[in-house]
Structure 1
Amino acid sequence: MSELPVCLVTGAARGIGYGIAQRLAGDGWHVIMGDLDEAECRTAAERIGPQATAIALNVRDECSVEQVLDEVQQAHGRLDGLVNNAAISDPGHQPVETLRLDQWQAYLDTNLTGAFLLCKHALPLLRAQRGAIVNIGSSRAWQSEPHTEAYAATKGGLEAFTHALAISTGPQVRVNCIHPGWIDTRPPATQRVEPLTAADHAQHPVGKVGTPADIAALTAFLLSAEAGFITGQSWAADGGMTRRMIYAE
């Protein structure tokens, strides 16, 4: 059984999920990295080191979710944190008139129902440890580009799910939601070949596009005892873009 606090991070093979797993392992957590791409997830866990364990996870499949939580229980005997990061990250950009029901449903099943299933089956372990949940939403819960209805609906739903669950599970479990803005999750090789422009960075009030480490830092705080008075809240981590008025001149 683990003496370290244990956190399950979904969608952890790459991008924001990997950044969160890396940060938590560095902070002294044992991180269970769940992902549909088991091979890449194992490679990612090996890069982090012995405090990371990769596991195959399909957040849309309740049997898969149950199996993962059973394995966490058997291997570690505890769960102190859950980060619901797995998502279809492409907003879509398809007119709602041509959006097929199965496409709409795929977004809901992964981005929203997946978080529900993880919370449902993780809560007994989290209650026992007085743990915390962090849901990873998107600034698109609040603002949109055209033709992103399915993605925006799931992220808006995740915000509502967060505050409802926080009321239902308190005081044993805290639940918060982070809404990232533009986070450069491209592989380092791609970033070197196709660097972001000065204009990309300058449009943000903080002067830069975000990185997975920015989201990981806020996640680590919300999972920690230092955030013990915070629950049911949604946090923008977007470089200030949701507060900036933009009008065509």
Structure 2
Amino acid sequence: MERFRNKVALVTGGRSGIGRAIARRLESEGAKVFTAQRGKDDEFESISVDFADPSSAAALVEEVAGRAGRIDVLVNNAGMMQEVLAEDMSLEEWERNITVNLTTPFMLIKAALPHLRAVGGSIVNIGSTEGLGSNPKHAAYCASKAGLHGLTRAIAIDHSPEGVRCNAVAPGWIDTDLNMDFIESMPDPTSFKAGLGRIHPVGRTGTPEEVASLVVWLASEEAGFVTGQVWTVDGGRMSKLSLPG
């Protein structure tokens, strides 16, 4: 399929993990893909951006639009996470998390809306199951992802009448390089990996490509009647009630 022939997509944080899988899938279906992150990406047209500076958003959008002539798809994937108790987190750390995970995506959406409106484009925000629940020591991350889910609904309500759809995907445990490195850091990686599988009804963790499949569908015209939704991709984990023992 080439659902994105002659279309232009901007994927933030597209150099690795879920972002890389999304960028590859969009390109395989005909899109001209730009990735944006700190540093260079040799696989796609790449723009180096520090997402801790929300003022970078407008310049990024205008550079992509200037080079490609249009923007059809915006995927807000770039993010960060810190593991620290709320009482031990400084205001500066809190603000950096909120900026990278929520404020900069807002600014990117704001800058991209005129371009998306012109072509009937689509926004997909990468949220998290931690916008719905929480792991320990993730106060700022959870707050920012819950905010991103709320922003998704608000943008859909305001701009779907103009032809711009906005949805979010909330991944659970996905086998990104970062998560695999975390598993390997455990005293018994094999046992830890098996334990992760047991907390998921499907019996395993997810892949970046599985997240990308949903993101690309949401961005496509096949999902033309879908907007303002948060789609959970977690192997059923959030639906599973815990039992004692």
Query: Taking structure 2 as the reference length, what is the TM-score of the superposition?
Result: 0.90
2:112 maps to: 122
| Aligned residues with identical type, % of pairs | 40
SS in 2 for 1:97: helix
CA distance in 2, matches of 1:110, 1:61: 8
CA distance in 2, matches of 1:247, 1:99: 33
2:57 maps to: 65
CA contact (8 A) 1:60 1:113 kept: no
1:124-162 superposed Cα distances (whole Å, 9 cap, x missing partner):
100001000000000011111222111100000001100
1:80 to 52, 57, 72: 72
1:183 counterpart letter in structure 2: I
Q: CA deviation at 1:191?
A: 9.8
1:98-134 superposed Cα distances (whole Å, 9 cap, x missing partner):
1111111111000000110100101110000100000
2:198 to 188, 195, 202: 202
1:64-98 superposed Cα distances (whole Å, 9 cap, x missing partner):
2222222212211110000000100x3x3322111
SS in 2 for 1:126: helix
1:221 to 204, 209, 217: 217
| Structure 2 residues not aligned, in runs of 5+ | none
Q: How does 1:144-223 map to 2 (within 5 A)?
A: 144-171=134-161, 172-186=163-177, 197-223=193-219
1:104 maps to: 94
2:26 counterpart letter in structure 1: L
2:122 maps to: 132
SS in 1 for 2:228: coil
CA distance in 2, matches of 1:11, 1:248: 39
Query: After TM superposition, what 4+ stretches of structure 1 lie above 4 angstroms from structure 2?
Result: 187-196
Cα distance, 1:25–1:131 mapped onto 2, change above 3 Å: same
1:30 to 29, 32, 36: 32
CA distance in 2, matches of 1:185, 1:236: 17
CA distance in 1, matches of 2:142, 2:55: 27
CA contact (8 A) 1:58 1:65 kept: no
CA contact (8 A) 2:12 2:76 kept: yes
1:6 counterpart letter in structure 2: V
1:48 maps to: none
Give the number of equivalent residue pairs. Answer: 236
1:26-73 superposed Cα distances (whole Å, 9 cap, x missing partner):
11111111111x23xx23x2xxxxxx3111122332442222222212
Cα distance, 1:85–1:138 mapped onto 2, change above 3 Å: same
1:53 counterpart letter in structure 2: E
CA contact (8 A) 1:7 1:31 kept: yes
SS in 1 for 2:87: coil
2:92 counterpart letter in structure 1: D
CA distance in 2, matches of 1:198, 1:229: 39
Query: Taking structure 1 as the reference length, what is the TM-score of the superposition?
Result: 0.88
1:185 counterpart letter in structure 2: T
Q: Please, what is the CA RMSD of the aligned residues?
A: 2.2
